[in-house]
Amino acid sequence: MSAGRASEGAGCITWWGFSPARDLLSTGPVKRGRDVNVLLVGSGDTRHILKTISGLQDKERLHVWVIESSMEVVARQLLLLYLALMPKESMGDNEKTEVFLEVFGNGEIRSQTGETLRHAASHLSLSVTETLETAAHSCLNTTLLKFKERDELARIFKLWNQTQSSSSSSQSVAPILMSKAWDYRVRQHLGTRYDSKIGCFDWDLKMKLHEKGCGVISKQQYARWRERGLAFEMREGVYQITNPSLLSSRVFSQKGNKVAVRGYWGDIVSSPYLSFGIETDDKGMLKTQNGRHIKTAQDISFANLQELFHSMSSRWGCPNTSQSDAEQLSSESERKSVTVNDLMHPSGISVTFLPLDSLDKLPEKPKYSHFFNSIYFSFSCVQKLGPMVRKIAAPDAVLVVELAKYILDVNKQQQEGFAEKVVSMALEAEFELWHEGKSDDVHAVFIPKRN
């Protein structure tokens, strides 16, 4: 066994972001407008979408445009949006939050969550294949994707259904066991340190995450996630069904041939707690007792998401169904009937998915000329930041770039070097650092360069 591959920790596909959720309309110089267009490049999950929606003012209209690096991530974003848009009469806020976090951050899920995921995949597949020109739902708009990309989405959703059904059937292809796929990654990452993995997990938590200000991530929960891929365990139940939305294919070279291997290829070090679980406006949740946090990252993730979902329900005029009533109504048969059309339909809000290779082509289309008010680049997609971005940015646009703070396999010197590289790339694209706000080593914020 080798000494391990440190660079493998973040994985090669972004299932969740390496930074907390941001209201992108309140990041940088705030200039509210009636119609706002936000471009997300490689954000990996729905955290910024949900946070930005929750901060909208009454008459504002938000249009989010999403470019990802793989169709597997697009499929997962559609799934998470579907869950977030489930009406209260079908799923109460408590259960919705639990199911969302389970699908979001757990390699293995409960059987009832697996059923919910399977029904969602069926409805999303129909939505993708049957709506060619007009989106079935404004927040699940895939009409601008290429035909082959929509076919790929349909294939992925079908695969999710096969994964679920084959767990209880001997037919079809043998299901991938997440426990084995996860352990393979841990062994690959730690190498000869695998036998002392608990000590390695503790070191990464205390000397890296806690030192970076993530003290709310508890030792017990972090070790459970690092060892089993189980970040959120909120209900009594058996977590043993593979979460198909966290599986993807990775191409390897074997004896001169390229072979696609399906497995878990995402983050195994930084954790899904970063997206919703390390920041909160409720300072009471950050209290400590005898030097230890009373609440955990799981508690904060739950509270933050529940608040986002409550805000969304209130904004969109959903029936004021009590939690107990919603729990009674959300029977299995009712969930099967929740089609894309039955989801909450927010007025003035749209989420549109663009082709994977569209970033360089947007400047060629008159529609997108100086179009976006806010543009976000993730850590994994920074290499795509180039001069063409200025052509699609509005005159008073804000450019937000995720930095390497929470990439644990990157040391302090590399982190600083990356931040300098981002500034240099932004300057080449005719953006300059925004100096008026408080400094933030999680995101770099830029504004168009003054001539």
Q: What is the DSSP string of 269-297?
A: SS-THHHHSS--S-GGGG-EETTEESS-H
Whether 6 has a pLDDT exceeding 90, the answer reads no
Residue 171: predicted pLDDT: 46
Task: Look at 27 and 334; give whichever has higher pLDDT.
Answer: 27
CA 244 to chain CA centroid, nearest Å: 15
**Across 296-310, 323-337, 380-394, 419-433, least confident range:** 323-337
- Residue 373 and residue 30: Cα distance in Å, rounded? 10
Q: Do residues 400 and 445 lie in contact, with contact meaning Cβ atoms separated by under 8 Å?
A: yes
Task: Give the pLDDT band (50/70/90) at residue 173.
Answer: low
Nearest to 400 by CA among 18, 22, 15, 12: 22
- Residue 305 and residue 297: Cα distance in Å, rounded? 12
Residue 170: predicted pLDDT: 43
Structure tokens at 95: 């259960």
Nearest to 103 by CA among 117, 89, 90: 117
Whether 236 has a pLDDT exceeding 90, the answer reads no
- The model's pLDDT over 428-443, given as tens digits with 9 standing for 90+, comes to 999 999 987 666 899 9
Whether 319 has a pLDDT exceeding 70, the answer reads no
Q: Do residues 32 and 59 lie in contact, with contact meaning Cβ atoms separated by under 8 Å?
A: no
DSSP string, 194-215: GGGHHHHHHHIIIIIITTTT-T
CB count within 10 Å of CB 318 equals 14
**Across 151-165, 169-183, 434-448, least confident range:** 169-183
User: Position of tokens 């904004």?
Assistant: 315
Whether 241 has a pLDDT exceeding 90, the answer reads yes
Three-state DSSP state, 71: helix
- The model's pLDDT over 270-306, given as tens digits with 9 standing for 90+, comes to 999 999 999 999 999 999 998 899 999 999 999 999 9
Structure tokens at 213: 């200000």
Task: Give the pLDDT band (50/70/90) at residue 256.
Answer: confident
Whether 157 has a pLDDT exceeding 60, the answer reads yes
Residue 2: predicted pLDDT: 43
Task: Give the pLDDT band (50/70/90) at residue 3.
Answer: very low
Q: Do residues 51 and 78 lie in contact, with contact meaning Cβ atoms separated by under 8 Å?
A: no
Task: Look at 24 and 316; give whichever has higher pLDDT.
Answer: 24
The identity of residue 76, as a single letter, is R
Task: Give the pLDDT band (50/70/90) at residue 260.
Answer: confident
CB count within 10 Å of CB 399 equals 27
Mean pLDDT, the chain, rounded, equals 90
Mean pLDDT of 198-211: 97
Residue 32: predicted pLDDT: 74
Residue 331: predicted pLDDT: 52
Residue 253: predicted pLDDT: 80
Whether 316 has a pLDDT exceeding 80, the answer reads no
Residue 257: predicted pLDDT: 85
Residue 79: predicted pLDDT: 98
CA separation (Å) from 315 to 214, 319, 325, 374? 31, 11, 20, 22
Whether 326 has a pLDDT exceeding 60, the answer reads no
Q: What's the CA angle centered on 368, arms 367 and 369, to 5 degrees?
A: 95
Mean pLDDT of 394-403: 96
Q: Do residues 112 and 153 lie in contact, with contact meaning Cβ atoms separated by under 8 Å?
A: no
pTM of the model: 0.92
